[in-house]
Amino acid sequence: MSLRTNTYLFLTAILISACSRPGDSSLQQGPLIEVEALQQMMETAEPPAIIDVRPRAEYLKGHLPGAVNFWRTDLERTDTAYSGLVLSRNEVAKKLSAKGITSSHNIVLYDDRGGVEAGRVLWLLRRYGHDRLQLLNGGLQSWGNILEPGETESVPEVFKFNLDERTDMNVDYETFEQWRVNPNTRLIDCRSEVEFSGKEFKAGAFEAGHIPGAINFCYSHCINMNDQLRTRTLEELTAMYAPLASPEDTVLLYCHSGVRSAYTWFVLTELLGYENVYNYDGSWIEWSYFHNAGTLNDTLNKHT
């Protein structure tokens, strides 16, 4: 066993001992924040910017006090032949500016799906260069307080990413194709078993099935469905992912459109400390588009 692996296991043991209980206060200073800590932050002179990552209609029915709203389509490009790719860094900065968020804000994100939608936005903001980000553990289900209806009024500000864009969090189609065939790369499909097997064909894709060489491990295993959709303990997460990839492996993640895989990136990187994890933003939609086009071209070439 390498020194690096030994060090990882030692640090993981420390984290597990400190954070094994879902409500442990030690999580409040890390990537997950508990409701009690968020409430305290909201009462300070510099409260966090809170982003509700749900469809607008649901947000308007009721949201955390002061929360602004982004849904996944608000942050996606519309100029490609397929859906799901995220907006550019400058365009995302403009979106945040319009909501009154600044570079100095600590940003807390939540949804009502255990963090998968909020995790996608966290991944995006982290990738583009904002370093003060947390997910509300359990999201809306854990709030348990009065919700605020309607839309929070926002005074536009100037948001600028305070760090350089990271290149160690995402892969494009070309890089993905090069890396996935490496025998030392671990390729994880974060979708459901029925999607992986091809039994379910989701809208937006160009065929059913999965990318050759992928292991199927649905993101939902990370969420405790019996505990207000809270993230599972570090002990549980470590046990689940250890058979799939070791901390020193290069891990490629994909799902349908990069949302569930972005959340899995959050779990592996920010909670478990894996260092070489990449989210394929285009995911199955983009891959099936190019694969389908390639199959069609091969068929046409055989008949010409």
* Residue 190 known to be catalytic: no
pLDDT exceeds cutoff 60 at 28:
no
Would you state the pLDDT for residue 54? Answer: 98
- The third-level CATH classification (topology) of the domain covering 170-294 is Oxidized Rhodanese; domain 1 (3.40.250)
Q: Compute the average pLDDT of residues 229-242.
A: 97
**For the chain, domain boundaries:** 31-143, 170-294
Active-site residue (options: 19, 190, 222, 255): 255
pLDDT exceeds cutoff 80 at 92:
yes
Q: Compute the average pLDDT of residues 99-106.
A: 97
pLDDT exceeds cutoff 80 at 27:
no
- pLDDT-derived band at 294 (thresholds 50, 70, 90) equals low
* SS3 readout for the chain: CCHHHHHHHHHHHHHHHHHCCCCCHHHHHCCEECHHHHHHHHCCCCCCEEEECCCHHHHHHCECCCCEECCHHHHECCCCCCCCCECCHHHHHHHHHHCCCCCCCCEEEECCCCCHHHHHHHHHHHHHCCCCEEEECCCHHHHCCCCECCCCCCCCCCCCCCCCCCCCCEECHHHHHHHHCCCCEEEEECCCHHHHHCCCCCCCCCCCCCCCCCEECCHHHHEECCCCCEECCHHHHHHHHCCCCCCCCEEEEECCCCHHHHHHHHHHHHHCCCCCEEEECCHHHHHHHHHHHHHHHHHHHHCC
pLDDT exceeds cutoff 60 at 21:
no
Q: Compute the average pLDDT of residues 31-46.
A: 96
Would you state the pLDDT for residue 79? Answer: 95
Q: Compute the average pLDDT of residues 251-274.
A: 98
Would you state the pLDDT for residue 56? Answer: 98
**Looking at per-residue confidence, does 26 or 87 come out higher?**
87
Percentage above 90 pLDDT, the chain: 85
- pLDDT-derived band at 57 (thresholds 50, 70, 90) equals very high
Would you state the pLDDT for residue 36? Answer: 95
Task: Tell me what the pLDDT averaged over the chain comes to.
Answer: 89
**Looking at per-residue confidence, does 261 or 17 come out higher?**
261
- pLDDT-derived band at 1 (thresholds 50, 70, 90) equals very low
Q: Compute the average pLDDT of residues 68-87.
A: 96
**Looking at per-residue confidence, does 9 or 152 come out higher?**
152
pLDDT exceeds cutoff 70 at 132:
yes
pLDDT exceeds cutoff 60 at 100:
yes
How do residues 175-215 score in pLDDT, each as one tens digit? 999 999 999 999 999 999 999 999 999 999 999 999 999 99
Q: Compute the average pLDDT of residues 53-69.
A: 98
**CA gyration radius for the chain?**
20
Percentage above 70 pLDDT, the chain: 87
Would you state the pLDDT for residue 293? Answer: 81
Place of tokens 């307080």: 145
Q: Quote the pTM value.
A: 0.88
pLDDT exceeds cutoff 70 at 303:
no
Q: Compute the average pLDDT of residues 11-38.
A: 58
CATH superfamily of 31-143: Rhodanese-like domain (3.40.250.10)
Would you state the pLDDT for residue 133? Answer: 97
Fold match between domain 31-143 and domain 170-294: yes
